[in-house]
A and B are shown apart, each in its own frame.
Chain A
Amino acid sequence: MIVIIDYGAGNTKSVTNALDRLDTLYELTEDSSKIKAADKVIFPGVGHAGHAMYSLREKNLVDVIRGIKQPLLGICVGMQLLYDRSEEGNTECIGLIRGQVTKFDNKELIVPQMGWNTNVLSNNKLFKGLGESTYLYAVHSYRAEVTSDTIATSVYGNEYASAVQSNNFYGVQFHPEKSSGDGQLIIKNFLEL
């Protein structure tokens, strides 16, 4: 079973719609035993990183996520929360990916970044069947630093990590569920990991 972590800080409907389009069964839950027993875990997130972490802690889900052994895909703020820290609300995050999430600080830059940006994709199973440079839809005001865990990059002002992987933990800054056919392929690839 595919489990989507439902902790009150994710736009879960667009994720469930995308899974429906792929004829995939899933369960939306905050139940830690169901999360632990899942084949794959999707960890969505929108809004404020601090609020999202607060909500995870309230529901005692931080350690549950840290302990997951199956593939997990964090989306948008869900990816950012996998890092050590976010500058948004000076938030200590889950700490599964080394590095920091910081605000787009260039004064000339229109923030949030909103729209389709090109992503340079590495040779990772998540991107099987996609071109090296692919347009994907993203909306965010904070960006993750490029580290050795980075598996895709994009440029807005400066280069940032648009996808990461550390062991079984995957994260994407863009919204695959809103990125048309290419996004759907990324979700499909994740489900087939």
Chain B
Amino acid sequence: MTMYYNEMVDDGRVRAPYAMLSDWIETMPAEIRQMKQAEAEALFRRIGITFAVYGEGGDPDRLIPFDMMPRVFLQGEWRKLERGIKQRARALNAFLRDVYGRGEIIRAGRVPARLVYQNAAYEKAVVGFVPPRGVFSHIVGIDIVRTGRDEFFVLEDNCRTPSGVSYMLENREIMMRMFPALFRHNRIEPVDQYSELLRRTLASVAPAKCDGAPTIVILTPGHYNSAYYEHSFLANLMGVELVEGSDLFVDGGFVYMRTTQGPKRVDVIYRRIDDPFLDPLCFRRDSMLGVPGLMDVYRSGGVSIASAPGAGVADDKAVYTYVPEMIRFYLGEEPLLQNVQTWALWKDEDYRYVMANLKELVVKEVHGSGGYGMLIGPRASPEEIARFRSLIEKNPGNYIAQPTLALSTSPTFVEEGIAPRHVDLRPFCLCGDRIELVPGGLTRVALREGSLVVNSSQGGGVKDTWVLSE
């Protein structure tokens, strides 16, 4: 039987991080808990935060269940995570600078050329262009799972436009509103400085041609997008304009935004639309979401784009396996956070091992996301395993496999009271002139008993994430 690390209880004894919460739980009557839960849901509905996280699809108006029981880290635990996350974000940006420049890591034989240069996310159009401060990925979302007291693993990196940070902020807001006493009696590190740090990060990568205070905008595909709420939420918090492609235009060597006072030059675009749709003159001609001519302005240093076009080459599941190499190669350090052991199906030896052990492993598509296109061996029927086997045989290069991880559990409110449920964590690391990380992130929880899938499309919920001060 697999043993799971329970973040709250060990052998009947409450672990330190949760000590101050155990009284709170025990003394809360069931009626109060239900009432509070209903109140939380009403609050979420009222503010309209109902979008799916991570582009998982599904009903965009469905509320993702919020669990009132926070997930807690001690200061010491967090400091270690923080160092590992920042190290990883630095290495990923160094890698992006390199592969769009001289490609030293490939020349050195540490990363296969094919994985980079034949990667669909590698953008030929930006080869040789160095964005301000050499930063390509300004918001790095790193998905982390825990399997033991000191065992944390990175599940995947998100270098493009990771979503979910509005949940991190709203979960905290709602907890503070509903349980002010908890925050009076516990020293919990704040997260609400995130929006100001994000604004400063974006301002710090303004192009050299920008004179004066940079004008920042958030570029959204529009209100049909499942993360539109997050786009408007962040724009609001930062005090910047939320624009669609048609609100921007190129004139001469710059990008302007239409305003009631006439055109206003834009210096930094935090885009929440994907590369192929950014500019019909450079990428997909049929894109109606982008700004014609934007990429020419970008490549001549007239505007900054966050994340930089082409940043996606650092975050697919094949390149992921080389992140520890990147850390050693660019930083001369040993990785502080470990990767999950990963078998690459395009390697003969790995292929043989995986095909013989499909029942024990998790198999994922290299470019897949959101828990789709994935096989969880121990939970799969013989038919599903057979189907995946033939898919892999047809295109081994499209798959990786990992062991089924024993995700830690965190106490969670369920029908019967409190029960352990599996969780993961996505912190959001900001990269500009400095590397910043707010203490916390988004904790996702698999609400179904025994489930290891935390995706909201498959019965996942979210929790507030606490980092305790010393």
Are A and B genuine complex partners? no
B binding-site residues for A, Cβ under 8 Å = none
A binding-site residues for B, Cβ under 8 Å = none
